[in-house]
Amino acid sequence: MGVEIIPNFLIGGVAAGGTSLLANALIQHPDIFLPAEMRPEPHYFYKSWEYAKGSNYYMDKWFSGVQQEKATGERSSSYLFDPTVAGKVKEFNPSMKWIFMLRNPIERTWGNYRYTVLGGLERLSFWDALQQEEERINNQEGIWAEIQPYNYTGRGFYYAQLQPFFQNFDSSQILLLRSEDVAKNSQVNLEKIYDFLGVEGGFVPEMPPNHTAVSVKNREVQADAREYFKDRFDLFVEGIRREQDPIDLINSEDDRVWYEKFKENLVGTKKKMPTDCREYLQNLFAEDINKLSSVVEFETKDWN
């Protein structure tokens, strides 16, 4: 396949905002192409080491399966977070259309933290992580300085982050959706997307199952399990979330002991955000939410 097939839309954010559910629904539409490989996300315009490989690499890796679809795109939930992405994409394709799923930034921050804990990358409490956020970001080195796994709140200032996209693209090329609405009224919002992408409406996909909202009992155990299982860790997490026992990944008695400890450390309920953390985040995001309300067509009052 040559580079003549240019993606014409991107699902650009946000992390912990429901982009996975959306992508799994859209990929079923016969006129929409999305890469079958959902994880890891491409992050081509975000990760410098990926972008350095060039557009031919990007096209061949993620779009070699394109056939006659009218809408060709990919999902990278990091794109809204990086102010340089808009300019890179404009140079690549100035006609690109953008879909952004915006979730209550307070809940999104909590969800982001919970996901990082689940991934065995976080040993601090939520409150301590918020208080030490700036220091930890400044101390990151190498690729971690770019990925910024501990920048929980920074990904929630949507109004500020949208400005480079408004400056580089016409408003008709940007669709802003409220994640909570997409989850509750999926088909209504899918029809908006179909119209936005110029594909036939009326298609009703099979909505992806809502897998167990897994919570971690002990952060230390989770982090230690990640260090033990290394590359297999994420596969174990996904298997447990889907209630599938990944016995084929267990190769020794030590593996079995660690797996049982790991599995016992997870509970299928969603923990509530601590009250003091919620109040802190309400104050932090108040101004940005107020500004955002002027550029979106959905309600944001209940976000505070």
Single-letter amino acid, residue 200: E
What backbone phi and psi angles, to 5 degrees, belong to 99?
Answer: -120, 125
Q: Which residues pair with 71 in a beta bridge?
A: 32
Rounded to whole angstroms, the Cα distance separating 36 from 33 reads: 9
Predicted confidence at residue 239, as pLDDT, reads 78
Residue 180 makes CB contacts below 8 A (sequence gap 6+) with 103, 104
Tokens of 35: 């890469």
Q: What is the dihedral of CA 243, 249, 253, 257, to 10 degrees?
A: -40
219 contacts 127 by C-beta, under 8 angstroms: no
- Position 2 scores a pLDDT of 38
Rounded Cα distance between 222 and 236, Å, is 12
Q: How far apart are CA 48 and CA 109, in angstroms?
A: 25
Question: Domain 9-105+156-197 class?
Answer: alpha beta
Provide the token pair at 252.
């020794």
pTM attached to this predicted model: 0.89
Angle, CA 185 vertex, CA 243 and CA 19 arms, to 5°: 55
Q: Give CA–CA dist 42/76, Å, rounded.
A: 6
For 223, the token pair is: 């982090």
Question: Strands, E, within the chain: which ranges?
Answer: 9-13, 32-33, 71-75, 97-102, 174-178, 215-216, 266-267
Q: Quick one: pLDDT at residue 137?
A: 93
Domain regions of the chain by residue span: 9-105+156-197, 214-269
Instruction: Give the pLDDT confidence score for residue 55 in this predicted structure.
Output: 95
Q: What pLDDT is attached to residue 56?
A: 94
The pLDDT profile of the chain, 304 residues, written as one tens digit per residue, is 333 568 999 999 898 898 989 999 999 999 999 998 887 899 999 999 999 999 999 999 999 999 989 999 999 999 999 999 999 999 999 999 999 999 999 999 999 999 999 999 999 999 999 999 999 999 988 888 888 989 999 999 999 999 999 999 999 999 999 999 998 889 999 999 999 999 999 999 998 766 556 899 999 999 999 999 998 998 888 777 777 777 788 999 999 999 899 889 998 888 899 999 999 999 999 999 999 999 999 999 999 8
